A and B are shown apart, each in its own frame.
Chain A
Amino acid sequence: MRTHGARLLLRAGLLTLLALGATFLLDPYRNYQLATATGVFVAVAGLTLLVGLTGQLSLGHAVLMAAGGYGYALTATRVESAIEGTPVADGAGGWLLPLLAGVAGALATAGLLGLLLGLAAARLRGPYLAGLTLALVIALPSVASTVPGLAGEQGVRAPFVPVPDALAALIATEQWHAWLAIIVAACAVTPLVALRAGRAGLRMRAVHDDETAARLAGVDPGRVKAGAFVLSSLAAGLGGVVLAIVTQQVSPGAYGLGFSLLLVVAAVVGGLGSLGGAALGAVLVTLLPWVVDQATTALPADLGHRLAGNLEIALFGVVVIVVTVLRPGGLADLFPGRKHAPEQVPST
């Protein structure tokens, strides 16, 4: 197990370095897109394990991202104003302390909400859990405008994380934010890879395949399901942190029903249970709307307006159908080296 662990860390390190290096090849706008896709990737990674391994379908993962985003923004802003004027604020601590505190705040908020949902998830099956999580997404705008401090539709500002002085001459803000996104992603996804491959992953599969058999083998399905839900909530929360850092804002509009369903699309298209697939799916759902937008602007304005917003949703539907028909294992299945059988699609 130890060599596996070391190998995993080595691979994670190499991949992270590769991704950091890749940012030098991109212009600022593409780095912004990369950072956004990375944030989505982190959330989809958690979701794909939840759905692929334990068979629990969450349609409300956007809310868990929002919980992370709000937790980050509120905590980081507090800390930023607390250290303002003190000597700490002058150096790197000025942005690093709020950032770290924000991440802790995000993990706490998303984890807590995830735990509550997880407890319910342990008792609910398929469509009922999907319905519960769906209700959350729909309630988000009302919650944001009712709870004081969340500032309704306008949302909450998150502190701007400036490029450190030492790097300022070298990289642009967007590239720096892409770096932060990649580092958060590495910290969030590596543990997921380890869990997936280890005993926890085995227990989750056991619960998914046959709860009674799992119980006979001494596995508590309720605990495994709730645990898996909390884990994937933490990942979603970190995804929210990334988006909050990149856009310096958290608002309910960013985490609507459409976005929540896109996360599911990314997981399904990428290949349920596959983390590499989650990365592909995240890139797809981030880039496709932009590509469609580029295409519609070439059309006459009238037609373009009518198609705007609708065409991409239709396209996503088509992509999902094509992928599930041709490659039930998702895009991850297209690549050699995946020798084991594809994960089972959840029986919802």
Chain B
Amino acid sequence: MRTALLSRPRSVGTAAVLGLTAATALSACSTPAAAEVPGVTDDTVVIGTHQPLTGPAAAGFASISAATAAYFEYVNANGGIHGRSIEYVVKDDGYNPATTQTVVRELVQEDEVFAVVNGLGTPTHSSVLDYLDQNGVPDLFVASGSLTWDQPDEYPGTFGFNADYVTEGAALAQYALDTEPDAVVCVLGQDDDFGEGILAGVELAVGAGKVASSQTYSTADQDVTAQIGAMKEAGCTHNVLGTINGFTALAVGTAAQMDWFPRWHVSSSGADHPTLVEYLGADVAPVLEGLVSVNYLPNSPSSEWYELFSTINDEYNDGAPYTGNTTYGMSVGYQFAEALAAAGPDPTRESILAAVESGDLVGNGVAPLTYSAEDHFAHRTVRVAVVTDGVQDFTDDAYTVSEAGAVAVEPAQVPLENEGIPVTD
């Protein structure tokens, strides 16, 4: 026992000294020289993102960052923005908040990125919100519609990309009431900010407490039979879904198994038709006929943006299948390029934030962007899309949502200019 007691600390000490030496050697060889504006050199701008390339959410979202990277390659091949090419560092976080924290620190401290662009997911991105704020890293165009991103006082550098979930929920429910005044509206939502936001939006449109049945699911549980059963019991005619693609397919499929065919009104985050068909299989896919969704991006085969993005997809993305994620990823790229162009020939972290807040960015959505110093959300207007004969396309219905509720408006799609490359002057 004596020897054990005496020898133990010595081996700890040896270990500590060894660790110390190794750590010193490591840090000495990898500490980069500080640049004046992190990530910006004479000919490049380095930005980073965290995306689920592996793990449970990968099937639904992994193609987004590939599309964004393809758009940036297209821009770089055409001279870049203010002569700088955009370098897009994509880190895999497996949709696990703990991993997100690690990879975002790597992006900021090792890769010294100029900004984090389109970090994906509510639980994942929430975990780095404070970190990015404390380090003054622009946190642009978060891939989630959680209201968390719209707190300009607390998080001056954070901006959302998606239409917020409340806007989508309100528009979906209002469309249900506009098409069927006697609609019995119900909600199935994910048990987090996503589902809560959709529910809040639906209540905004139908009135508080007027939702006939409100159910939630957890992504940890691959079964929604109980929830769908309860909704059928409640006599729902129009179900608004705050679900990700996998659970939209699960909900629609489960109801079909019960021989129940209500109208489905689905948030943009879980309504991508090609993805849903993949989940359900071609023989079950016809139950998706008539599926109503909203979108804020030019995700329609008849749009000129869609045409351009398809060409870029073929040329720079190995001709990967074109889905809603492709439109999404390339639109993210366009919006960042536009912000970078507006930030001036010598962009700084301050100037790009000012450019986004200025309200001059229009984006490429179904209506111009709504960013301002007080509003860090991109889209207050969404357009209704319906699946007809297996094709998901926009109708002429669009809604603008404010605190007063959803109001029908004319869609005002931002036109395509200069081959989809923001003009710098």
* A interface residues (Cβ-Cβ under 8 A, vs B): 4, 8, 11-12, 14-15, 18-19, 22, 25-30, 32, 34, 36, 141-142, 145, 151-155, 157, 160, 173-174, 193, 196-197, 202, 247-249, 251, 253-254, 256, 274-276, 279-280, 283, 290, 305, 308-309, 332, 335-340
- Chain B: minimal CB distance from A20 (Å): 11
CB-CB < 8 A to B27: which residues of A? Answer: 25-27, 30
**Complex Cα distance A275/B92, Å?**
33
With A248-B131, A276-B11 as contacts: A22 and B193 at CB distance below 8 Å: no
Verify B98–A247 contact, CB threshold 8 A.
yes
**Complex Cα distance A340/B127, Å?**
46
Please give me the residue from chain A that is nearest to B221 by CB atom.
A142
**Complex Cα distance A202/B1, Å?**
9
- Is B302 positioned at the interface, with any CB of A under 8 Å from its CB? no
CB-CB < 8 A to A145: which residues of B? Answer: 191, 218, 220
CB-CB < 8 A to B101: which residues of A? Answer: 247, 249
Please give me the residue from chain B that is nearest to A29 by CB atom.
B109
With A142-B220, A249-B101, A337-B11 as contacts: A30 and B26 at CB distance below 8 Å: yes
CB-CB < 8 A to B5: which residues of A? Answer: 4, 8, 197
Given contacts A151-B192, A247-B101, A251-B96, 12 further A-B contacts (CB under 8 A): A18-B17, A34-B23, A141-B220, A145-B218, A154-B97, A155-B97, A160-B130, A249-B126, A276-B8, A276-B12, A305-B53, A336-B14
Verify A154–B192 contact, CB threshold 8 A.
yes
Verify B54–A309 contact, CB threshold 8 A.
yes
- Is B20 positioned at the interface, with any CB of A under 8 Å from its CB? yes
Q: Could you write out 28 A-B pairs with CB less than 8 Å apart? A: A14-B13, A18-B16, A22-B16, A22-B23, A25-B24, A30-B23, A142-B220, A145-B218, A145-B220, A160-B134, A248-B131, A249-B127, A253-B96, A253-B97, A253-B99, A253-B123, A274-B8, A276-B8, A283-B19, A305-B53, A305-B92, A308-B54, A309-B54, A335-B14, A336-B14, A337-B11, A339-B7, A340-B3
Verify B16–A15 contact, CB threshold 8 A.
yes
CB-CB < 8 A to B98: which residues of A? Answer: 247, 249, 251, 253-254
* B interface residues (Cβ-Cβ under 8 A, vs A): 1, 3-5, 7-17, 19-20, 23-24, 26-27, 30-31, 53-55, 92, 94-99, 101-102, 105-106, 109-110, 122-123, 126-127, 130-131, 134, 191-193, 218-221
**Complex Cα distance A22/B97, Å?**
29
Verify A29–B54 contact, CB threshold 8 A.
no
**Complex Cα distance A197/B1, Å?**
7
- Chain A: minimal CB distance from B61 (Å): 14
CB-CB < 8 A to B92: which residues of A? Answer: 305, 308-309
**Complex Cα distance A193/B5, Å?**
8
Verify A193–B192 contact, CB threshold 8 A.
no
Verify B4–A197 contact, CB threshold 8 A.
yes
CB-CB < 8 A to A251: which residues of B? Answer: 96-98, 123, 127
CB-CB < 8 A to B55: which residues of A? Answer: 309
Which of B20, B30, B219 is close to A22, meaning CB atoms less than 8 Å apart? Answer: B20
CB-CB < 8 A to A197: which residues of B? Answer: 1, 4-5, 8
Task: Name A's interface SS.
Answer: helix
Which of A29, A248, A275, A336 is close to B110, meaning CB atoms less than 8 Å apart? Answer: A29
- Chain B: minimal CB distance from A209 (Å): 14
The 4 closest A-B pairs by CB, nearest first: A254-B98, A29-B109, A253-B96, A154-B123
Verify B105–A29 contact, CB threshold 8 A.
yes
Verify B8–A193 contact, CB threshold 8 A.
yes
CB-CB < 8 A to B7: which residues of A? Answer: 337-340
Please give me the residue from chain B that is nearest to A270 by CB atom.
B15
Please give me the residue from chain B that is nearest to A16 by CB atom.
B16
**Complex Cα distance A274/B12, Å?**
9
Please give me the residue from chain B that is nearest to A18 by CB atom.
B16
CB-CB < 8 A to A309: which residues of B? Answer: 54-55, 92, 94
**Complex Cα distance A279/B17, Å?**
12
- Chain A: minimal CB distance from B103 (Å): 9
Verify A155–B123 contact, CB threshold 8 A.
yes
**Complex Cα distance A173/B105, Å?**
12
**Complex Cα distance A197/B106, Å?**
40
**Complex Cα distance A309/B103, Å?**
14
Verify B23–A8 contact, CB threshold 8 A.
no
Verify A8–B15 contact, CB threshold 8 A.
no
Verify B15–A279 contact, CB threshold 8 A.
yes
CB-CB < 8 A to A280: which residues of B? Answer: 15, 19
Verify A247–B127 contact, CB threshold 8 A.
yes
CB-CB < 8 A to A283: which residues of B? Answer: 19
CB-CB < 8 A to B126: which residues of A? Answer: 154, 157, 249
CB-CB < 8 A to A32: which residues of B? Answer: 105, 109
Verify B127–A155 contact, CB threshold 8 A.
yes
Verify B54–A305 contact, CB threshold 8 A.
yes
Verify B11–A332 contact, CB threshold 8 A.
yes
- Chain A: minimal CB distance from B48 (Å): 13
Please give me the residue from chain B that is nearest to A142 by CB atom.
B220
CB-CB < 8 A to A142: which residues of B? Answer: 218, 220-221
With A160-B134, A335-B15 as contacts: A27 and B8 at CB distance below 8 Å: no
Please give me the residue from chain A that is nearest to B13 by CB atom.
A15
Verify A249–B97 contact, CB threshold 8 A.
yes
